Amino acid sequence: MGKRIRAWWGLTKQSVSTRSFLDHANMRAAVYVSAIVIALESWMILSLLRSYFEGLAAGKHRDLPWLVNHGSWYVVLLVFGVAVLIHSLRYARGLVRNRRFSRGLLWAFSIACIAFGIYYGCNSYAKGEQVLAFVTMTLFVFGLITWRPIPSLVFSTITFGAFYLLISQSAPPTYGTQVNLFTLWISTFVVALASYHQKESESQKEQRLKEINERLQYIATHDELTKIPNMHTFRSAVGVLLEGIDELGTRFSILYMDVENFKSYNERHGFLAGDELLCDLAHGLQDIFANELVARFSDDHFTALCEVDVAEERVEAARALVRSLRGDVRLHLKAGAFEPTSENTDVGVAIDKARIACNETKRRPDRFFYVYDTALDLQVERRHHIINSIKTAASDGWIKVYYQPVVRCSDGSGELCGYEALARWDDPTYGLLPPFAFIETLEEYREIDKLDRCIIEQVCRDLRAELDAGKPVVPVSLNFSRLDFELYDVPAFLREMTQKYDVPSNLLDVEITESALTEQLSELQKTMASLREGQFSLWLDDFGSGYSSLNVLKDFRFNVLKIDMAFLRGFPQNEKAGPILESIVMLAKELNMVTLCEGVETKEQFDFLHAIGCDRAQGYYFGKPDAQKKNPIH
């Protein structure tokens, strides 16, 4: 038999949820049906008593057995009705959960109603009313329980058959009664069938809704990739913890963990391998924080809640896990901890502090774990200040452009050939802040465009002033954050500024860091094509600081390659530094790119760069960034 036909006959196995839905529907119906039965039977009993006493008053013969004979069924049904009503109300309130007993009670009640219908139909009513009395009770029963098709067919056949046989005993039913009974039998079955299918489809709809809700709930609380709890779950857990922190008596730590160099791992091995690593890490962390909470907060950042005493031990285990996962020495875990107390009840602030403690380890190469202390409070305060005042900073001139000279190196002259514009934040409260104090924060809050637009405009304004004064001008390179390309139309803004200040576009160079080129590549390609069309020179900043360097060279066309200052740092002590720099310069030449080496601090370094044919150089040896455009010192 086809599945659909079996389903139509109710022969497929009902799911637990369908059964529970039907049980609930039946118990709800039982409240109404039993209430009607109670009202009906009370009415019957009252009429019987009235007719008993009226009969007595009229001197008719009315003994107690007469009363019992006539009234016992009413009483039985009344008692049953009251029992079912009480039970179904208690069930609706969740006070009873015994489904078997509930089903049994409804069945017993149904059988009692039908038996009553048959008995009274046959004994107490005139011929024409017999069928009506019986059918009334049958309808009660079918309204009381949602019958499956087969049981309903069997049940209705038996009851109609029994009734038919009983009324045939006194006198054979007329043709009309036969037809009526047959039609009613079929109709009862069809009504039961329709009600069953309707309820079943309702239950399926409800089930699907429940499933969708559960799925949504899961998605909302779990990380899609690793399947461990996500940021929202973590935040609410911290919220609950903070609410009851005074009564807890146990000290808790919020841990914030960050896998260093994960992004480079992603770039080297591809996103799939990166995802796999994150999943393995997430599951490993779940084992380490087995009875605690661990969540994936974002990207390669994980958070956990544990007791203060075990925090360092857990972090140590997590570090060992990261080391063992892929055997990659570049990957390692750093963590920060913050112990919330009742004074700091804001969830966001509490987690932020753990993260700030984690970030602090980046500034301290010897530390892998840092516990938040009051010294960091100042940083938090400063971060909030930065975010709250970026607009004022941009409009009130707190943002200053410092210029660092870039010199010619290929001819060994060390002559000025450009400047790099570097931002400084001259704060009325905190004084002059270097970029590390605000760039990261502004990026995090997606406000970096405000700073960069302000710098671009000032650079254009300064160039205009020099042009007006008839001074010789050299190009200025501008730093862009990856987010700039998402937050505004960079080529359009540069065009707007060059037009506004009437500055030739070849006086502006666009520095894009290597790490900006890992996401939304096709979009960036388009933006870069548009910049190239606008005659802006494109520079690849910090070349060699990531691991994707060679891919970047393959996929993007740059005019200038800025070699990261890390390469020079080891020179001349590190034997490898020289040959590496030399091969980078050679490679760039093959690709028709101009080379610029950053971080030149000594004459020896400059001479070496000249010897290997590096085109330009920049560094403290020639001049530090300054509010004035100064000429190179050497």
The interface partner of residue 439, options being Ca ion, ligand C2E, none and the CB cut-off 5 to 8 Å by kind, is ligand C2E
* Positions 358 through 417 that interact with ligand C2E (CB under 6 A): 404
Tokens of 179: 């037809």
Spatial CB neighbours of 92, under 8 Å, sequence gap ≥ 6: 27, 28, 31
Binding flag, residue 423, ligand C2E (CB under 6 A): yes
- Least Å distance, CB 625 to Ca ion, is 11
Question: Judged by CB under 6 A, which stretch of 192-200, 377-385, 514-522, 619-627 contacts ligand C2E?
Answer: 619-627
Task: Please give the radius of gyration of the chain, using alpha carbons only, rounded to the nearest integer.
Answer: 42
Q: Which does 537 bind (CB under 5 to 8 A by kind): Ca ion, ligand C2E, none?
A: none
Cβ-based nearer residue to ligand C2E, 148 or 383: 383
Residue whose CB is less far from ligand C2E, 354 or 448 = 448
Q: Please, what is the minimum distance in Å from the beta carbon of residue 562 to ligand C2E? A: 8
| Nearer to ligand C2E (CB atom), residue 347 or residue 455 | 455
**Interactions with ligand C2E, residue window 563-592 (CB under 6 A):** 565
Among 200, 360, 542, 615, binds Ca ion (CB under 5 A): 542
Task: Return the DSSP state at 575.
Answer: T
- The span from the CA of 375 to the CA of 321, in Å, is 30
Closest to ligand C2E by CB, 167 vs 439, is 439
* Buried b / exposed e along 411-434 (16+ C-beta atoms within 10 A): eeebebbbbbbbbbbebeeeeebe
Q: Which is nearer to Ca ion, 294 or 422 (CB)?
A: 422
Residue 439 binds ligand C2E (CB under 6 A): yes
Residue whose CB is less far from ligand C2E, 303 or 527: 527
Using rule CB under 6 A, residue 458 touches ligand C2E: no
The residue (of 258 and 511) whose beta carbon lies closer to ligand C2E is 511
Candidate residues 200, 223, 449, 452; the one interacting with ligand C2E per rule CB under 6 A: 452
Q: In 3D, which of 556, 555, 633, 617 has the Cα closest to residue 585?
A: 617
| Near ligand C2E in 534-553, by CB under 6 A | 541-542
Amino acid at 532: R
The dihedral of CA 456, 459, 464, 465: what is its sign?
A: positive
Residue 41 binding target from Ca ion, ligand C2E, none, CB below 5 to 8 Å by type: none
* Residue of 132, 603, 620, 634 interacting with ligand C2E (CB under 6 A): 620
Mask: binding to ligand C2E, 492-531, rule CB under 6 A, as x and -?
----------------------------------------
Do the Cβ atoms of 358 and 370 come closer than 8 Å? yes
**Residue 223, burial from CB neighbour count under 10 angstroms (0-12, 13-18, 19+):** buried
Torsion (CA) 199, 90, 105, 36 in degrees, nearest 10: -70
The one-character DSSP state at 474 is: -
Question: Site for ligand C2E (CB under 6 A): which residue of 30, 599, 616, 632?
Answer: 599
Question: Within 13 A of 371's CA, how many CA atoms are on the CB side?
Answer: 10
- Which span (157-165, 200-208, 323-331, 597-605) binds ligand C2E, by CB under 6 A? 597-605
CA–CA gap between residue 329 and residue 607 (Å, rounded): 34
If one asks whether residue 625 binds ligand C2E (CB under 6 A), the answer comes out as yes
- What is the rounded distance in angstroms from the CA atom of residue 393 to the CA atom of residue 454? 9
Three-class SS state of 257: strand
Say which residues have a Cβ less than 8 Å from residue 19's Cβ, sequence separation at least 6.
99
* Neighbour count for residue 496 (Cβ, 10 Å): 15
Candidates 15-23, 348-356, 476-484, 526-534: pick the segment binding ligand C2E (CB under 6 A).
476-484
> How many residues are there in the chain?
634
Binding segment for Ca ion among 18-26, 250-258, 454-462, 505-513 (CB under 5 A)?
505-513
The type of residue at 471 is K
Taking the complex as a whole, how short is the minimal distance between the CB of residue 403 and Ca ion, in angstroms?
12
| Residue from 360, 511, 514, 615 in contact with Ca ion (CB under 5 A) | 511
Instruction: Say whether residue 615 binds Ca ion (CB under 5 A).
Output: no
Q: Which of residues 40-69 bind ligand C2E (CB under 6 A)?
A: none
- CA 278/CA 298 separation, integer angstroms: 11
Binding-site partner at residue 121 among ligand C2E, Ca ion, none, CB < 5 to 8 Å by type: none
* CB nearer to ligand C2E: pick between 75 and 437: 437
Site map (CB under 5 A) of Ca ion, residues 458-487, x = contact: ---------------------x--------
Among 441, 479, 518, 548, binds ligand C2E (CB under 6 A): 479
Burial class of residue 229 (count of CB atoms within 10 Å of its CB; 0-12, 13-18, 19+): buried
Beta-ladder partners of 405: 419
Contact pattern from residue 512 through residue 541 relative to Ca ion, giving x for each residue in contact according to CB under 5 A and a dash for the rest: -----------------------------x
Compare residues 484 and 541 and give the one whose CB is closer to Ca ion. 541
Stretch that binds ligand C2E, among 33-41, 104-112, 477-485, 570-578 (CB under 6 A): 477-485
CB of 367 to ligand C2E, least distance (A): 21
Measured CA to CA in angstroms, residue 324 lies from 284, 295, 399, 564 at distances of 11, 20, 46, 30
Tell the smallest beta-carbon distance from residue 270 to ligand C2E (Å). 26
Whichever of 101 and 620 has its CB closer to ligand C2E, that residue is 620
292 binds ligand C2E per the rule CB under 6 A: no
C-alpha torsion 28→30→35→36, nearest 10: 120
The dihedral formed by the CA atoms of 542, 547, 549 and 555, expressed in degrees to the nearest 10:
-130
Q: What is the rounded end-to-end Cα distance, in angstroms, of the chain?
A: 95
**Partner interacting with residue 509 (select from Ca ion, ligand C2E, none; CB below 5-8 Å by kind):** none
CA distance 314 to 13: 48
Q: What is the dihedral of CA 465, 469, 471, 476, to 10 degrees?
A: 10
Residue 601 touches ligand C2E, criterion: CB under 6 A: yes
Asked if 218 and 171 touch (Cβ cutoff 8 Å), the reply is no
- Per CB under 6 A, 462 contacts ligand C2E: no
List residues near Ca ion by CB under 5 A.
479, 511, 541-542
List residues near ligand C2E by CB under 6 A.
404, 422-423, 434-435, 439, 448, 452, 455, 479-481, 541-542, 565, 599-601, 618-620, 625
